[in-house]
Amino acid sequence: MVMGIVGNCLVLLVKFMCKGCSLLIISGALLAMLTGGQRSPWCEVVSLLKFAFITSSIGSLAILCVQRLIGRASTGSALFVVMVAACSACWVTGLVFGSIPVIYAWIKYDSAEMLCAVFWESSYSDMLVYILCAFSVCIFLPFLLIMFCSLLSAIGCGSNSNR
* DSSP class per residue in 90-128: HHHHHHHHHHHHHHTT-EEEETTTTEEEE--TT-HHHHH
The pLDDT of residue 1 is above 90: no
More confident: 30 or 157: 157
Provide the whole-model pTM: 0.66
The pLDDT of residue 12 is 76
The pLDDT of residue 136 is 92
Name 94's Cβ contacts closer than 8 Å, sequence gap at least 6. 51, 52, 53, 54, 55, 56, 59, 138
The pLDDT of residue 7 is above 50: yes
The pLDDT of residue 133 is above 50: yes
The pLDDT of residue 163 is above 60: no
Neighbours of 158 (CB within 10 A): 16
Among 59, 71, 69, residue whose Cα is nearest residue 143: 59
Domain boundaries, the chain: 1-36, 37-154
- 31-54 pLDDT, tens digit each: 666 666 666 577 788 788 888 888
The pLDDT of residue 114 is above 80: no
